[in-house]
């Protein structure tokens, strides 16, 4: 049963990464963009990544991709123009 | 009917040392506060020496502390690299455009946007009267 859950989560993350995370032009949901400004939210998603990695390495690596794309995109989008 | 609360495996097996815990906290803080890390550190991470050091550090962490710490280290390093300020101008590298140094003057749009270019390609504007 655990293996089925892992496979479902892996498929869900892949379905999120391919059309959403890996495309810079794809707009994040406004709540995700708003929550990025709070440090506790960023800490929470890193802790989610740790929890996923401790559960299953495949889930951890895919979650790391999602978190990295999210953080790097938001870092870029909130940077002032002269810093780009 | 007592239930025992068990900690996740990464807490009980890999975070057994205070040094590892401290390193993990530093990594998390680096990831979370990556946008406010100074430009000098980012520029160093973007240099050849910094990249060799960063990749070597990821490898060393994976070897000594396990892949979860290695994953966090790689994320922190990539986020540092991602925000590195690059001052490469669009017309660098020769061509027919002659570079001119800025002389403490800014165009209106540069002063509004807070831009401070180090080099410019055009320092004159050619205007002409309106003709029917």
The answer, yes or no, to whether residue B32 has pLDDT greater than 70, is yes
pLDDT at A41: 93
Total domain count for chain A? 1
d(CA B11, CA B66): 13
d(CA B74, CA B87): 25
d(CA A28, CA A21): 9
Whole-number CA gyration radius for chain B: 25
A24 min Cα distance to partner chain B (Å) = 14
pLDDT at B63: 93
Q: Does B10 touch chain A (CB under 8 A)?
A: yes
Query: What residue segments make up the domains of chain B, in order of their start?
Result: 9-82, 91-132
Chain A residues whose beta carbon lies within 8 Å of the beta carbon of residue B34: 71, 75
pLDDT tier at A66 (50, 70, 90 boundaries)? very high
pLDDT at B83: 76
Number of H helices, E strands in chain A: 4, 0
Among chain A residues, CA nearest to B116: A82
The answer, yes or no, to whether residue B43 has pLDDT greater than 90, is no
CB-CB under 8 Å, B114 with A80? yes
Q: Does B75 touch chain A (CB under 8 A)?
A: yes
| Phi and psi at residue B120, to the nearest 5° | -135, 160
Instruction: State the DSSP string of A15-50.
Output: HHIIIIIT-TTSPPPHHHHHHTT-HHHHHHHHHHHH
* Cβ A37 vs Cβ A31: under 8 Å: no
Looking at per-residue confidence, does B68 or B114 come out higher? B68
CA angle A2, A46, B26 (to 5 degrees): 130
Chains A & B: contacts with CB separation below 8 Å: 59
A48 min Cα distance to partner chain B (Å) = 12
Among chain A residues, CA nearest to B38: A83
Chain B residues whose beta carbon lies within 8 Å of the beta carbon of residue A78: 35
* Cβ B79 vs Cβ A72: under 8 Å: yes
Nearest to A43 among B28, B34, B85 (CB): B28
Residue for token pair 């017309």: B91
d(CA B70, CA B63): 8
Tokens representing residue A46 in the block: 């890193």
* Cβ B82 vs Cβ B62: under 8 Å: no
Least confidently predicted of B17-26, B46-55, B103-112: B103-112
Looking at per-residue confidence, does B97 or A10 come out higher? A10
Q: The domain containing residue A43 runs over which residues?
A: 2-83
The answer, yes or no, to whether residue B65 has pLDDT greater than 80, is yes
The answer, yes or no, to whether residue B91 has pLDDT greater than 60, is no
| Phi and psi at residue A29, to the nearest 5° | -60, 145
- DSSP H helices, chain B, are 9, 18-32, 39-46, 48-65, 67-82, 108-113
CB-CB under 8 Å, B67 with A43? no
pLDDT tier at B15 (50, 70, 90 boundaries)? low
The answer, yes or no, to whether residue B96 has pLDDT greater than 70, is no
pLDDT tier at A78 (50, 70, 90 boundaries)? confident
């Amino acid at each position: 049963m655990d293996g089925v859950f892992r496979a479902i989560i892996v498929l869900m993350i892949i379905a999120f990464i391919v059309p959403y995370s890996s495309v810079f032009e794809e707009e994040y949901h406004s709540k995700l963009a708003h929550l990025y400004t709070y440090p506790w939210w960023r800490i929470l998603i890193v802790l989610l990544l740790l929890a996923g990695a401790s559960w299953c390495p495949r889930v951890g690596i895919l979650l790391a991709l999602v978190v990295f794309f999210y953080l790097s995109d938001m870092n870029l989008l909130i940077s002032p123009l002269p810093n780009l | 009917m007592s239930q025992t609360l068990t900690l996740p495996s990464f807490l009980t097996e890999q975070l057994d040392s205070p040094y590892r815990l401290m390193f993990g906290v530093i990594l998390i803080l680096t990831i979370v506060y990556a946008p406010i890390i100074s430009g000098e550190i980012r520029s160093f991470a973007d240099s050849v020496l910094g990249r060799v050091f960063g990749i070597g550090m990821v490898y060393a962490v994976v070897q000594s502390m396990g892949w979860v710490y290695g994953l966090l280290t790689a994320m922190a390093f990539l986020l540092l690299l991602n925000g590195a300020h690059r001052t490469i101008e669009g017309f660098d590298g020769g061509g027919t455009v002659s570079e001119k140094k800025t002389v403490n003057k800014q165009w209106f749009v540069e002063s509004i946007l807070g831009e401070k270019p180090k080099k410019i390609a055009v320092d004159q504007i050619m205007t002409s009267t309106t003709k029917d």
